[in-house]
């Protein structure tokens, strides 16, 4: 009997000792949380939550407000064309490097735009298939936009019709933002150059991009899976490139408007940006057209990014009027006019992913003109997928 009682007492003492040790250990850990070594350990834990374009902890909501980088309508294009043709120089001070020196005046119709892109991760090259420019259209200007992740900027690209030699362009980035969860030693850089001279007479066609900087050029899938290791995330990491074409057409109202806004901005949680619109949005036109170009879209990481991750890669997009807080969900599940995501990497379908150029037509000019038409808002919901929006284009026609 005494033996059993002694064993019980010893057991209690052992539990008390372990509890005391744990308490002391936790106290020392708390006391040391402000030390340099503890801070490094915490930072390492936070970095470990970001990998392969995803964050295990979505960011808090982020907001931004910008002025429009470029406004165009038929009158503005004609004004710029006259100024360039008279001075023999490009008079634009915009971050969007358009030029209208070659444009025949007066314009035959109003202005519109089209975008097409290609993903370039682990390749640094690809073909952009531009389609959808209606017959009878006149080329006004064209720009190429691309992005990469690197320790410092570097902006060379070769661009031209597919199977042609192409032209080499060198530029500095128009903006930079946090890298979208691939390699913490880098930043995301966005670049843009005028490529009007490389556009085919019919505008529609296949255009090759090459020479983008990339650590790997073997077209390997960006992700590993259970059967093979991933390629790693050595810098630089090429993301993708998009061609933006501005054109006029007799079927487009002369009052049609275009507003171009440049990022780049990274987000991995709720994000919204208000773009100021001057001159004001015309409320008498029947169509709104919105294009979004961005980096790091993906379906998921399973099976080399070909399978979606529920509740992570199901991003949603709204276009909103801040004056009266009215909203139209144009992309994404649970209410979107288009149930797919803006950020699925389809410019590289099926591989490589990580670049998107999407355009949607919805609503009428009156939706955004109510309350003055002096701005509009793009609102995104991401739940851990790290995304960079690079260009927003609003068309009112």
Question: What pLDDT score was predicted for residue 315?
Answer: 92
Report whether 48 contacts 377 (CB < 8 A).
Answer: no
Q: Residue holding tokens 């032209």?
A: 167
Question: What pLDDT score was predicted for residue 56?
Answer: 81
- pLDDT tens across the length of the chain (397 residues): 444 444 444 343 433 343 433 333 333 233 233 333 433 333 343 444 678 898 888 889 999 999 999 999 999 999 999 999 998 665 567 899 999 999 999 999 999 999 999 999 999 999 999 999 999 999 999 999 999 999 999 989 999 999 999 999 999 999 999 999 999 999 999 999 999 999 999 999 999 999 999 999 999 989 887 778 889 999 999 999 999 999 999 999 999 999 999 999 999 999 999 999 999 999 999 999 999 999 999 887 777 777 777 777 889 999 999 999 999 999 998 889 998 899 999 999 887 889 999 999 999 999 999 999 999 999 999 989 999 999 999 999 9
Question: What pLDDT score was predicted for residue 37?
Answer: 40
Question: What pLDDT score was predicted for residue 15?
Answer: 37
Report whether 317 contacts 271 (CB < 8 A).
Answer: no
Question: What pLDDT score was predicted for residue 163?
Answer: 92
Question: What pLDDT score was predicted for residue 143?
Answer: 98
Instruction: Select from 106, 97, 148 the least CA-distant residue to 125.
Output: 148
Question: What pLDDT score was predicted for residue 41?
Answer: 38
Instruction: Select from 130, 143, 304, 148 the least CA-distant residue to 240.
Output: 148
How far apart are alpha carbons 180 and 149 in whole angstroms? Answer: 8
How far apart are alpha carbons 35 and 257 in whole angstroms? Answer: 57
Report whether 239 contacts 295 (CB < 8 A).
Answer: yes
Question: What pLDDT score was predicted for residue 89?
Answer: 62
């Amino acid at each position: 009997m005494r033996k059993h009682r002694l064993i019980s007492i010893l057991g209690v003492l052992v539990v008390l000792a372990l509890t005391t040790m744990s308490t002391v250990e936790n106290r020392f850990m708390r006391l040391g949380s402000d030390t340099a070594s503890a801070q490094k350990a915490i930072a390492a834990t936070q970095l470990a939550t970001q990998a392969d374009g995803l964050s295990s902890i979505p960011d808090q909501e982020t907001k931004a407000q910008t002025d429009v980088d470029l406004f165009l309508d038929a009158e503005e294009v004609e004004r710029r064309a006259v100024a360039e043709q008279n001075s023999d120089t490009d008079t634009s001070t915009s971050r969007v490097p358009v030029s209208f020196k070659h444009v025949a005046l007066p314009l035959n119709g109003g202005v519109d735009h089209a975008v097409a892109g290609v993903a370039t991760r682990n390749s640094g090259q690809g073909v952009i298939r531009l389609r959808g420019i209606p017959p009878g259209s006149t080329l006004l200007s064209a720009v190429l936009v691309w992005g990469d992740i690197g320790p410092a900027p570097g902006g060379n690209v070769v661009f031209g019709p597919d199977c042609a030699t192409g032209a080499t362009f060198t530029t500095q980035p128009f903006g930079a933002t946090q890298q979208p969860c691939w390699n913490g030693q880098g930043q995301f850089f966005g670049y843009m150059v005028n490529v009007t001279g490389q556009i085919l007479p019919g505008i529609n066609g296949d255009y090759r991009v090459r020479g983008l900087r990339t650590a790997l050029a073997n077209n390997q899938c960006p992700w590993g899976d259970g059967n093979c290791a991933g390629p790693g995330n050595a810098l630089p990491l090429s993301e993708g490139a998009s061609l933006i074409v501005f054109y006029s057409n007799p079927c487009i109202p002369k009052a049609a408007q275009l507003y171009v806004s440049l990022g780049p901005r990274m987000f991995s949680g709720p994000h919204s940006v208000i773009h100021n619109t001057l001159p004001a949005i015309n409320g008498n036109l029947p169509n709104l057209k919105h294009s979004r170009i961005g980096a790091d879209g993906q379906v998921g990481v399973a099976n080399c990014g070909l399978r979606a991750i529920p509740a992570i890669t199901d991003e949603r997009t709204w276009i909103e009027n801040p004056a009266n807080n009215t909203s139209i969900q144009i992309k994404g599940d649970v209410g979107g006019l288009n149930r797919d995501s803006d950020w699925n990497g389809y410019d590289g379908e099926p591989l490589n992913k990580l670049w998107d150029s999407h355009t949607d037509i919805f609503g009428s000019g009156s939706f955004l003109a109510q309350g003055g038409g002096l701005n509009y808002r793009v609102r995104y919901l991401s739940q851990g997928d790290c995304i960079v929006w690079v260009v927003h284009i609003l068309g009112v026609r």
